[in-house]
């Protein structure tokens, strides 16, 4: 099963916590005989179960489950020995175990939902990045500010440069080839124009993605190195 990104995992845990809060509120309102101690323990062990399923490798699920149950039994027994008047109640141990089991089931449900939805989400992202061009349509023009690079998926794109009203063909892009990447990395103006020779489809890649800036790191040394290498390559191609 594919791993879940950290940000989405945190959102799911927050949603799970909110759901359990509503469950507890309903339980307290409908049955006044349920002690608050058992409810709090149930919630705590349920959150532990969710965290185990979401954060651990599947091969450690059983070990973690049994370890938490054993620790819970030991804690209840320690309270019986340390706190005067505290009796060892089997009902508390059952409540803790049931809370842990409920959390594990919730964690499995979240993982199942993510595995079910992820292919569709990925497909939507891919479709969002696809740029469809009609015959003769210009994708970008010489002199424009560059923000994206492209991978041609279908069709054919002509790369040209113009000077003094004289247009010169630089290269012809075939499916599977990358274009527009150097100016995007250097964050400079386009030195060429890209125009579709026939109906074409290109996949757009942002400069932030190529430079590894999607995670919020803007000053990584690798960004400067990428731009320097792009500059050297451009000078070599001249």
**13 exposed, middle or buried (CB, 10 Å; 0-12, 13-18, 19+)?**
middle
Cβ atoms of residues 193 and 141 within 8 Å: yes
Spatial CA neighbour of 189 closest among 224, 153, 140, 235: 140
pTM of the predicted structure, to 2 decimals: 0.50
State residue 4's pLDDT score: 62
- Quick one: pLDDT at residue 150? 92
What does the DSSP 8-state code read for residue 147? -
Report the CATH number of the 134-215+223-237 domain. 2.60.120.10
The pairing of strands 193-196 and 157-163 is antiparallel
Instruction: Kindly tell me if the per-residue pLDDT of 129 is higher than 50.
Output: yes
Interval 79-103: pLDDT, tens: 667 666 666 667 777 777 888 888 8
Q: Where are the domains of the chain?
A: 6-128, 134-215+223-237
Predicted local confidence at residue 201, as pLDDT:
93
Q: What is the pLDDT of residues 9-47, one digit of tens each?
A: 666 676 677 666 655 555 554 555 556 667 777 777 888
Each residue's pLDDT tens digit, 167-218: 888 889 999 998 988 888 777 888 889 999 999 999 988 877 766 655 554 5
Q: How far apart are CA 102 and CA 107, in angstroms?
A: 9
Q: Which two tokens stand for residue 236?
A: 């070599």
Cβ atoms of 32 and 85 closer than 8 Å? no
């Amino acid at each position: 099963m594919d791993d879940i990104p950290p940000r989405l995992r945190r959102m799911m845990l927050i949603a799970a916590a909110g759901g359990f809060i509503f469950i507890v509120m309903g339980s307290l309102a409908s049955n006044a005989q349920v002690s608050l101690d058992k409810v709090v323990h149930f919630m705590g062990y349920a959150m532990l179960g969710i965290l185990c399923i979401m954060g651990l490798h599947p091969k450690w699920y059983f070990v973690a489950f049994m370890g938490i149950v054993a620790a819970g039994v030991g804690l209840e027994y320690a309270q019986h020995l340390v706190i005067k008047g505290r009796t060892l109640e089997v009902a508390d141990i059952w409540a803790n175990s049931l809370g842990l089991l409920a959390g594990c089931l919730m964690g499995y449900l979240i993982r199942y939902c993510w595995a079910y939805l992820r292919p569709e989400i990925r497909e939507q992202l891919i479709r969002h990045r696809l740029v469809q061009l009609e015959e003769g349509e210009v994708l970008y023009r010489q002199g424009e500010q560059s923000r994206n690079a492209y991978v041609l998926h279908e069709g054919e794109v002509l790369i040209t440069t113009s000077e003094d009203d004289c247009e010169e063909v630089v290269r012809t892009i075939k499916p599977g080839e990358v274009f527009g990447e150097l100016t995007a990395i250097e964050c400079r103006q386009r030195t060429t124009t890209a125009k579709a020779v026939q109906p074409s489809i290109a996949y757009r890649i942002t400069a932030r993605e190529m430079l590894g800036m999607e995670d919020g790191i803007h000053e990584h040394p690798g960004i400067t190195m990428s731009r320097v290498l792009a500059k050297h390559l451009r000078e070599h191609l001249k």
